[in-house]
Structure 1
Amino acid sequence: MSDSMQRTLVLLKPDAVQRRLIGELIARFEAKGLNIVAMKMLQVTPELAKQHYAEHVEKPFYPSLESFITSAPIVALAIDGLDVIQVVRDMLGATSGLKAAAGTIRGDFSSSRQMNLVHASDGPDAAQRELALYFDESEFCDYQPVLVPFLRAGDE
């Protein structure tokens, strides 16, 4: 990947799965021209939740966070693209659906701080750490979509 090409983790959380928004949310990433290179549905265990949210385990809100993330299946996505970490975070909108702008995923589908449908890595180090929690290297399917010349200029 070039310097501006990145890979990030996106989780479609239990509320997105339960509300049957998986296809609609994936369609937004695809319509943006981002490349899904790995995807799986899984049940987050308390152990995985503690690894994923390690920085929050000792905080008072952690038990409710763990209860929520383990309450139903999630869909984990590995997504590639130019500056994809920031692009995806911009697409998600503010953490609280109540504060997220219309047109963002949370602004359009969430009206809660915790039930905010999606998680995305907040930087390159977090992306690398989080991707390793959900995917083995062998699960990434790197490919170049044939429509790339219609998504961005050749020098991007």
Structure 2
Amino acid sequence: MERTFVMIKPDGVERGLVGEIISRIENKGLKLIQLKLIFASPDILENHYMEHRNKPFFKDLVDSMKDKPVLAMVVEGENSIKLMRIMVGDKDPLCALPGTIRGDYAIETTKNLIHASDSRESAVREITIWFGDIL
């Protein structure tokens, strides 16, 4: 079974969408292995978004999420990485298809509700950042 990292971002938690998003994941047949509601520290967020470190939006991204609650999850299932990316939808809510999480609920690109790992390597790295070495 494949595992991936999924995070409901502060805007998703604040808007009360945690139950809806978890229901979609479980209804798809994926299994929740680990969950934790955590106030994200700058260190965790900087490590998580390290590929964006030299981009102009990096500081604003970290600042907008630090010390706010997120729901970090490890999701398991056949092709879980690809399935979650499809379920999440495009990062731009104007391009996200109806039926995807972002297509149905996101309003703006900077507050797009959810993150899901984009590859096996990212999943391993992100799970380790948020949960330690559980793989």
Residue-by-residue CA offset, 1:96-124 (whole Å, 9 max, x unaligned)? 11110000000000121110000000000
| Runs of 5+ consecutive residues of structure 1 not aligned to the other structure | 141-156
- The Cα RMSD (Å) is 1.2
**Structure 1 counterpart SS, 2:47:** helix
Contact 2:41 2:67 in 1 (8 A): no
**Structure 1 counterpart SS, 2:91:** coil
Q: Is it true that 1:65 corresponds to 2:61 in the alignment? A: yes
Q: C-alpha displacement at 1:34, in angstroms?
A: 0.3
Q: Is it true that 1:122 corresponds to 2:112 in the alignment? A: no
**Structure 2 counterpart SS, 1:36:** strand
Given the two structures, how large is their TM-score scaled by the length of structure 1?
Answer: 0.83
Runs of at least 4 residues of structure 1 off by over 4 A? none
Query: CA separation in 2, counterparts of 1:86 and 1:70?
Result: 27
Which residue type is aligned with residue 100 of structure 1? A
Query: CA separation in 2, counterparts of 1:25 and 1:92?
Result: 10
Contact 2:32 2:74 in 1 (8 A): yes
**Structure 2 counterpart SS, 1:112:** coil
| Runs of 5+ consecutive residues of structure 2 not aligned to the other structure | none
Query: CA separation in 1, counterparts of 2:94 and 2:60?
Result: 19
Equivalent position of 1:153 in the other structure: none
Equivalent position of 1:149 in the other structure: none
Q: Is it true that 1:103 corresponds to 2:99 in the alignment? A: yes
- 1:42-81 correspondence runs (5 A): 42-81=38-77
Identity %: 39
Which residue type is aligned with residue 126 of structure 2? E
Query: CA separation in 1, counterparts of 2:97 and 2:67?
Result: 27
Contact 2:12 2:114 in 1 (8 A): yes
Which residue type is aligned with residue 70 of structure 1? K
- 1:1-156 correspondence runs (5 A): 5-137=1-133
- Larger-Rg structure: 1
Query: CA separation in 2, counterparts of 1:9 and 1:47?
Result: 18
Q: C-alpha displacement at 1:71, in angstroms?
A: 5.0
